[in-house]
Amino acid sequence: MLSLGRIQFVHPFMGNMQVYPRLQQAYQQGQKQLALLIDPDGLDDAALERLLDIAAEGIIDYLFLGGSLMVHDRLDHCLLRIRQRAALPIVLFPGSPLQIHPGADAILFLSLISGRNPELLIGQHVIAAPYIRDAGLETIPTGYMLIDGGAPTTASYMSNTLPLPADKPAIAVCTALAGTMLGLQVLYLDAGSGARQPVPVALISAVRDAVNTPLIIGGGIRTPQQAQQAWAAGADVLVVGNAVERNPVLLAELAATKLDFAP
């Protein structure tokens, strides 16, 4: 199975932008950041180009790439398009080890610490590790916490886990603390793609007060006001996907909101 062995894979559009130092520096300086999530399955080429037109204007900080379930083999194609259009760090946000690709700059090495599925706490990581090593990807150990967004999401169904209750910040705080004590360097609180309700502000601020790591928040963010509240509560990076796929102009509005927080 470990057919890649120790051969370093060289890909024609391999990335070389360091991501974790940017995350950490922005967190320490109180600088808010915005990530656009691209699900290669969810966008045809015309929609992808529309988003990349906006992304190329320098208003976002990262492109996250991945999905809980991919039905079409479009990762390679999307990565090439992105590299051709936008000089941005590309961060894999993988739903499975099938989404490892040397054309990205970094990978969120996700431990699903809100759940109790051993496959997503260590099992899939063992399978993925040699491929990530051979792809030469920067690996960002990330505590991934699914938060109840008001309805089942693809992420909760595919991961076979229950999301954390949105109205129980104490559970989120203890989970976040345990994650950082285990050495996870970033926490990603996610209400899930297309969530009815984004991660509650009270939960973000409770976790923010408890840990000293960059906080990524995503899922169900649809308006500049929701973004403003999440950043104000202590989010460092906001991730948006669905809403900007439907309305690409929202990306510019979110970027303008981010400027309110310029340190």
Residue from 55, 227, 235, 243 touching ligand 1GP (CB under 6 A): that is 243
Is position 248 an interface residue for ligand 1GP (rule: CB under 6 A)? no
136 or 224: whose CB is closer to ligand 1GP? 224
Residue 253 CA to residue 214 CA, distance in Å, equals: 23
Residue from 242, 248, 252, 253 touching ligand 1GP (CB under 6 A): that is 242
134 or 238: whose CB is closer to ligand 1GP? 238
Residue 56 CA to residue 84 CA, distance in Å, equals: 10
- Residue with token string 């976790």: 207
68 φ/ψ angles, rounded to the nearest 5 degrees:
-65, -30
Residue 255 CA to residue 257 CA, distance in Å, equals: 5
Q: How far is CA 83 from CA 22, 104, 228, in A?
A: 19, 9, 29
Is position 220 an interface residue for ligand 1GP (rule: CB under 6 A)? yes
Residue from 239, 250, 251, 254 touching ligand 1GP (CB under 6 A): that is 239
Is position 120 an interface residue for ligand 1GP (rule: CB under 6 A)? no
Is position 36 an interface residue for ligand 1GP (rule: CB under 6 A)? no
Binding to ligand 1GP by CB under 6 A, coded x per residue (else -) over 167-206, reads -----------------------x-xxxx-----------
For ligand 1GP, the nearest residue by Cβ is 218
Is-contact 197 167, C-beta < 8 A? no
Minimum distance from CB of 8 to ligand 1GP (Å)?
31
Residue 196 CA to residue 227 CA, distance in Å, equals: 15
> Please, what is the Cα angle at 243 between 242 and 247, to 5 degrees?
120
> Where does this chain touch ligand 1GP (CB under 6 A) — which range of 13-21, 70-78, 124-132, 238-246?
238-246
173 φ/ψ angles, rounded to the nearest 5 degrees:
-65, -45
Positions that interact with ligand 1GP (CB under 6 A): 37, 190, 192-195, 218-221, 239-243
